[in-house]
Amino acid sequence: MKSQDYYDDFSRNYDWERLHGYFGFINEMEAATIKPLVKGKQVLEIGCGTGLIMRQIAGLEKNAVGIDISQKMLSKAREKGFAVARADAAKLPFRDESFDVVYSFKVLAHIEDIGPALSEAARVAKGKGFVVLEFYNSQSIKKLMNFFVPKKVFIRYDSPGRIKRLLPDQLSVHAFSGIRIISPAAISFRIPIVSGITKAVERLLSKTPLSRFGSYFIVICRKN
């Protein structure tokens, strides 16, 4: 199934599935990585979906724009009042150096030819601006758990070392963060006591060298 068709279909239940439990926690952790960077800034989200991350940073940024390939996802984002447009990550409709912060979560892992998308993210970022990119980590529990799960869309996994080699020359790694480092299964987030402990441990480990093994590997880059 094409990614656009998959996310158009997914849009009907996307917010319900992603607001709570496991995915709600992932969204919260992702937003936490960019909140210190977006204050008073011009911001672009690549792959904004229905605007769940945009909602978490609303009011912090000076201005935020989101792009996505799914028209149905974008319709839901517009209903929430967000400025969004339909566009391809590999062909962004913006001038060079338009944004102070460019970020993308849960998108790059579904792009087979990832080079153009990375180059575009770097192109539209201002000099000394931040580009925050999330990858699915090949050295993680997520890859092992999903090995036998049928795939509805293309999924790629990249190691931290490979990620560094993929980055455009204009970007240098400023910091990195890992999410879902030890959580054995998403269902653990549905059990109140277990969920609370799991979240606390995950937050703690995300600030240690073990974050290198996070299923969702976030690289915070600075444009040279």
Give the pLDDT confidence score for residue 150 in this predicted structure: 73
Give the pLDDT confidence score for residue 37 in this predicted structure: 98
pLDDT at 52 over 90: yes
pLDDT at 1 over 60: no
- Dump pLDDT digits (tens) for 153-168: 889 999 999 999 999 9
Higher local confidence (pLDDT), 194 or 115: 115
Taking the complete model, does pTM exceed 0.85, yes or no?
yes
Q: What is the mean pLDDT of residues 178-189?
A: 74
Give the pLDDT confidence score for residue 7 in this predicted structure: 63
Give the pLDDT confidence score for residue 195 in this predicted structure: 79
Q: Which domains does the chain have, with CATH numbers?
A: 3-223 (3.40.50.150)
Residue 84, classified by CB atoms within 10 Å of its CB into exposed (0-12), middle (13-18) or buried (19+), is buried
Q: What is the mean pLDDT of residues 73-92?
A: 97
Give the pLDDT confidence score for residue 122 in this predicted structure: 99
Q: Share the mean pLDDT of the chain.
A: 90
Give the pLDDT confidence score for residue 202 in this predicted structure: 86
Give the pLDDT confidence score for residue 121 in this predicted structure: 99
Give the pLDDT confidence score for residue 98 in this predicted structure: 98
Report how far Cα 147 is from the mean position of its chain's Cα atoms.
21
Q: What is the mean pLDDT of residues 61-75?
A: 96
DSSP notation for 164-185: HHHS-TTEEEEEEEEE-SS---
Could you tell me the strand order of the sheet in which 125-136 lies?
A: 84-86, 63-68, 42-46, 99-104, 125-136, 216-223, 171-179
Q: Name which of 62, 100, 104, 101 is nearest 87 in CA terms.
A: 104
d(Cα 60, Cα 84) in Å, to the nearest integer? 17
Give the pLDDT confidence score for residue 15 in this predicted structure: 75
- Dump pLDDT digits (tens) for 94-135: 999 999 999 999 999 999 999 999 999 999 999 999 999 999
Q: Which two tokens stand for residue 85?
A: 């447009």
For the beta carbon of residue 196, count every other beta carbon within 10 angstroms.
11
d(Cα 128, Cα 117) in Å, to the nearest integer? 19
- Dump pLDDT digits (tens) for 28-41: 999 999 999 999 99
- Dump pLDDT digits (tens) for 4-19: 766 667 667 777 777 7
